[in-house]
Amino acid sequence: MQEIKGIIVPILTPMHEDETINEQELRRQIERLISAGVHGIFPFGTNGEGYILSETEKVRVLEICVEQVNHRVPVYAGTGCVSTRDTIRLSQKARDIGADVLSVITPSFAVASQNELYDHFRSVAESVDIPMLLYNIPARTGNAIAPATAGRLSAVDNIVGIKDSSGNFDTILQFIECTWGSGFTVLSGNDSLILWTLIAGGKGAISGCANVFPENMVAIYTNFAAGNMTAARAAQDVIRPFRNCFKLGNPNTITKAATAMLGYPVGKCRAPFNQLSPEAESAIGKALEDLKAKGVIRA
């Protein structure tokens, strides 16, 4: 089984002005992130706009990621769909392409019971023979994985962990408590909670901010692992001004805009999620300048 740990990047999907995928820039971003020391590349997560890519596009993005990464770090593939059948099909395609780990988000729109969620994830896991992460982000999907359900699912052989993006630290603590001693990995999906998740017994994060300043996000984990809590805390705390920008728009739209402001031609998010107010653009620019002044971003 692939060890799940560290700072895993839900890599942006670069796009041209016509909203087609910019394959060349995707490859450049992979190289940039691996050079920064990230511990995994995760295509078509929330920051990768997996919610708006077609299945054909997802397959192509994953093919590029697997080829470009070339086994240097694990490749995580977001394969969750609304139906169990579609999720199984995409998960099997991802396995065949060469993904190392699957990330399966909860079904969305229709409300699912905990038994339905359990059966959904178990069925997907049993259809493939590679490790699988659960992905809990109830504000986006309308469905939350209960800690007790995560505990039940941790007994399924290749369900190895969960990414929690609820933003509720107590939920992360309960996931850790309900799976303690099982080898199950808990990852923070909220960049403000990475260090605290590590202290509590989690293993790292799937970090959207790592698209913008990857070295700093990696430093949270590496300094913690080395026992340097002062440096880990400094790397954690310095991201607050940028995180404060998220209240001004869709967070992954802000992350992509910030990456573009740093000079990387990643394009905009696909419409209709491609607009930011002048206030948001100004706040992002100010936060980036502040991070450059502090040496977090190399000018």
Span 244-288, pLDDT tens digits: 999 999 999 999 999 999 999 999 999 999 999 999 999 999 999
Helical (H) or strand (E) element with 97: helix 84-97
Confidence tier at 298 by pLDDT (50, 70, 90): confident
Supply 136's token pair: 């809990």
* Strand-by-strand arrangement of the 101-105 sheet: 40-41, 6-9, 204-206, 185-188, 159-164, 132-136, 101-105, 76-78
Residue 181 — pLDDT band, cuts 50, 70, 90?
confident
Q: What is the pLDDT of residues 149-159, one digit of tens each?
A: 999 999 999 99
| First vs last C-alpha separation in the chain | 39
Backbone angles phi, psi at 77, to 5 degrees: -120, 125
Q: Which of 152, 143, 199 is nearest to 173 (CA)?
A: 199
- pTM of the shown model: 0.96
pLDDT > 70 in the chain, percent: 99
Q: Find all residues with CB under 8 Å of 221, minimum gap 6, and list them.
A: 5, 6, 7, 39, 194, 198, 204, 205, 232
Mean pLDDT of the chain: 96
Handedness of CA 216, 76, 271, 167 (dihedral sign): negative
CATH classification for the domain delimited by 6-236, as one of 3.30.420.40, 3.20.20.70, 3.30.565.10, 1.10.1660.10 = 3.20.20.70
- Residue range 26-59, pLDDT digits in tens: 999 999 999 999 999 999 999 999 999 999 999 9
User: Average pLDDT for residues 95-109, to the nearest whole number?
Assistant: 97
Per-domain residue ranges of the chain: 6-236
pLDDT over 70 (residue 1): no
Active site members? 135, 163
pLDDT of 3:
83
**Cα gap 15→267, rounded to integer Å:** 5
In angstroms, rounded to a whole number, what is the distance separating the alpha carbons of residues 288 and 296? 9
Summarised one tens digit per residue, pLDDT across range 143-179 is 999 999 999 999 999 999 999 999 999 999 999 999 9
What is the C-alpha separation between 79 and 102, in angstroms, rounded?
A: 7
Q: Which two tokens stand for residue 292?
A: 């450059």
